[in-house]
Amino acid sequence: MSETQLSTATLPNTKPHYHILDGLRGVAAIMVVWFHIFEAYATSHLDQNINHGYLAVDFFFILSGFVIGYAYDDRWGKMGIKEFIKRRVIRLHPMVVMGAVIGGIMFYFQGCSVWDVSTVTVLALFIATFINALLIPATPGTEVRGLGEMYPLNGPSWSLFFEYIGNVLYALFIHKFSTKALALLVFAAGCGLAAFAILGPYGDICAGFSLTGTEFTAGFLRLMFSFSAGLLLFRMFKPARVKGAFWICSLSIVVLLSVPRLGGAENLWMNGLYDTVCFALFFPLLVYLGASGKTTDKYTTRICNFLGDISYPLYMVHYPFIYLYYAWVKNEELTFWESFPGALGVVVGSIVLAYVCLRWYDIPVRKYLIGRFLKPKNSVKG
């Protein structure tokens, strides 16, 4: 979510900020990193530890729909499609480029038995980096890792590809939908995604990162349900009083994403049903509770602000180091506990790198782009 997604809108200065939602986005992003760490020891979806970490992407999409509705639903009389798209590109794309560049720089250090980096020419790597930076999906001629990924240098970019699709559809059509029409869209997309989860080939919705028909369909359904559900939640939102919302929701996210695989290979539908309950019930509820709650002390506020600030950069820069960690584990035939210091280093190092990228790259670049392409100037805090 990448797995953001994790994107948020450039919020007008006059509107209050949902600090707890920021914090929850950061918690989910850290869980994604740990989910990817354990990919090095999994043989399939069935034995992956922190088994449901892939569902963080659906949580990110719901957050995105909610926040974009909050930031833009009441502004279409003053703002056209062109300005909206410019705002979204400025908010999202600098870190897309950074993730691609880091992935390209680290590629030749990631060689292992699963993918052979030595056969990839410098020219092919340059082309792969360039098209990843433009968020153009790789095709068989440009997919340098050989795993069929849309973005072989930085896997999580696939969710940004769908995020952009969602933003364009919102700008062209969805923002015009009545609440009833939006509810029908949510229902239809939810039925499609539930059918894929329960009756589909995987018994889960851990899909969307490839251009194959099945993968692309799953990714599109994940976007359409969760993004539209977040927007619908915003339009119907009436806050309740919730004490300790950040801590309650954070613990819930950790637990929901860590639940072991259900049903095994014999009963794939059981795990699909769990995924459905999460994306259709638990995640909207957590966003509702998080939006309803307020931070009541400066320490919780600081934690939420920090987690929110690093969440999107963390999602976009960590995966090249996952490739490196994966290769190290495979080449040295390490167990998790033998490689635990390295795993911890990947997590902590990715958080530090995310903060560095935010402070000295993402914020300055967005400030420049806003001053260059948007008038009047607006805050870049998202």
Q: Which uninterrupted H or E stretch holds 33? A: helix 19-37
Answer whether residue 382 is part of any domain: no
Residue 333: per-residue pLDDT = 96
Answer whether residue 326 is part of any domain: yes
DSSP state of 46: G
Total domain count for the chain?
Answer: 1
Residue 296: per-residue pLDDT = 86
Answer whether residue 251 is part of any domain: yes
Answer whether residue 379 is part of any domain: no
Tokens of 319: 């995966």
Residue 17: per-residue pLDDT = 86
Residue 376: per-residue pLDDT = 62
Q: How much is the pTM?
A: 0.94
Among 307, 279, 327, 314, smallest CA distance to 147 is for 327
Q: Which residues contact 118 (CB under 8 A, 6 or more apart)?
A: 111
Residue 14: per-residue pLDDT = 58
Answer whether residue 246 is part of any domain: yes
Answer whether residue 6 is part of any domain: no
Tokens of 348: 């902590």
Answer whether residue 128 is part of any domain: yes
The Cα–Cα gap between 238 and 225 comes to 21
Output the CA–CA distances (angstroms, integers) from residue 149 to 99, 138, 194, 335, 368, in the order listed: 15, 7, 24, 26, 32
Answer whether residue 12 is part of any domain: no
CA geometry: angle 309, 167, 80, nearest 5 deg:
105
Q: Which uninterrupted H or E stretch holds 160? A: helix 157-172
**Can you give the pLDDT of all 382 residues of the chain as single tens digits?**
333 333 343 444 557 789 999 999 999 999 999 999 999 999 988 999 999 999 999 999 999 999 999 999 999 988 999 999 999 999 999 999 999 999 999 999 999 999 999 999 999 999 999 999 999 999 988 999 999 999 999 999 999 999 999 999 999 999 999 999 999 999 999 999 999 999 999 999 999 999 999 999 999 999 999 999 999 999 999 999 899 999 999 999 999 999 999 999 999 999 999 999 999 999 999 999 999 999 989 999 999 999 999 999 999 999 999 999 999 999 999 999 999 999 999 999 999 999 999 999 999 999 999 999 997 644 444 4
- Domain range for 81 is 19-373
